[in-house]
Amino acid sequence: MPWLQNARAARVAARLMPLARTLAVIGASLGLALILLAASGYDLASCLRAFWVGSVGSARGWGVTLTNACPIILTGLAVAVAFRCGALNIGAEGQLLVGTLLTTWLGVSAELPTSVFVPAMLLLGILGGGAWAAVAGALRAWRGVPEVISTIMLNFVAIEIVKFAVTGPLEGVPGTSQTNEITKSGQLWLLDPRTDLHAGIFLALAAAIAIHVLMFRTTLGFGLRAVGSNPVAATYAGINVSRHLVGTMFLSGCLAGLAGSVELLGRVKSLSQGFTTVGYGFTAIAVAMLARLNPLGVIASALFFGALASGSREMTFEPNYVPDKLVDVVRGLIVLLSIGYGIVELRFRKS
């Protein structure tokens, strides 16, 4: 029947529209990047070739892209979960650093069999990140302190704590501002030594699937989304808004803490002052916005940002020699466009 066919077509179009919008944002982002490179006098064909090979056009490119995407998937999930519940967690960076610091402390203080050592360090990182985020959640729930302010401030506190630790009690060789390397028994299984791809990617993918099930297939997930959509209506429905906010912030921090632990045990192996400037927690905001706060969409969004990092780095080598600063400008434009798209999309949904 014609009306049934029209209804089906409308449902298909409604499902495809978010994907089309996301692809449009990605296309516009890459278009801006190309315009900037062309205006700077670089050979676009050569730059595109380098970007393709360095991101998804080779086995090595895929390895680097997946390695880059691993912590971004987890921090993107952290931001998406919090935003879904109406908690604007801008502190994934600090939560990641706290989780990494606690994981490092255990990693350089003990040596156990891998089957015990790795889970223990991951768990400590998860709980550390969760506890750090729960502080902001509790301040919001019971003292009315906006979590935007508290999480940003806690970011700087976490950064300074890490700097103190790596230059003081946890410093390995004096003067290096770096801890000793985590022993082999505490490192994640390396899948590809050429690209540092490790087993943490499986943890990230499993976490995305688990969060998707939690958010859209469980009563708890429904409560979290209800609080994020309309806390007043959720209260009248018998949902404890304060408890859900604190719980969501704790879960969000757990994911960010896991991201730091996985990155430490899988790729960097030791903690240094330089780790405080990586910025995974801030990139996660753009990742979550581009994914429209969908846990499975976070995987695709993180892969895009991972490919962007690996491909743009390839352009800095011969024969293009695109300066690092110009590459950072390109990345910044894409991040701003992604966040802007997410903000407009959220306002459109609420209107």
> How far apart (Å, rounded) are the C-alpha atoms in residues 39 and 35?
6
If you write DSSP's letter for every residue of 168-195 in order, what string do you get? TTT-SSTTS-BPPPPPGGGSPPEEETTT
Domain boundaries, given as residue ranges, for the chain: 20-350
DSSP 8-class letter at 197: E
> How far apart (Å, rounded) are the C-alpha atoms in residues 20 and 78?
24
CATH number 1.10.3470 given to 20-350? yes
State pTM to two decimals.
Answer: 0.91
Chain segment 34-93, per-residue pLDDT in tens: 888 888 888 888 888 988 999 999 999 999 999 999 999 999 999 999 999 999 999 999
- SS3 for 198-255 is ECHHHHHHHHHHHHHHHHHHCHHHHHHHHHHHCHHHHHHCCCCHHHHHHHHHHHHHHH
> How far apart (Å, rounded) are the C-alpha atoms in residues 93 and 128?
13
- 234-266 burial by CB neighbour count: b if 16+ within 10 A, else e? beeeebebeebbbbbbbbbbbbbbbbbbbbbbb
The 3-state DSSP class for residue 161 equals helix
Q: Is residue 128 within 8 Å of residue 98, measured between CB atoms?
A: yes
The residue behind tokens 């007043």 is: 232
Mean pLDDT lowest among 32-41, 186-195, 264-273, 278-287: 32-41
Q: Which spans in the chain are helix H?
A: 2-39, 44-55, 59-84, 92-109, 114-143, 147-167, 200-217, 219-229, 231-236, 241-263, 280-290, 295-314, 324-350
pLDDT at 193: 87
Residue 160 has pLDDT above 80, yes or no: yes
Torsion from C-alpha of 335, 269, 277, 47, nearest 10 degrees: -40
The 3-state DSSP class for residue 272 equals strand
Q: What's the half-sphere exposure (Cβ side, CA atoms, 13 Å) at 77?
A: 32
Q: What is the mean pLDDT of the chain?
A: 88
Chain segment 120-140, per-residue pLDDT in tens: 999 999 999 999 999 999 999
Chain segment 323-343, per-residue pLDDT in tens: 877 777 777 777 777 777 766
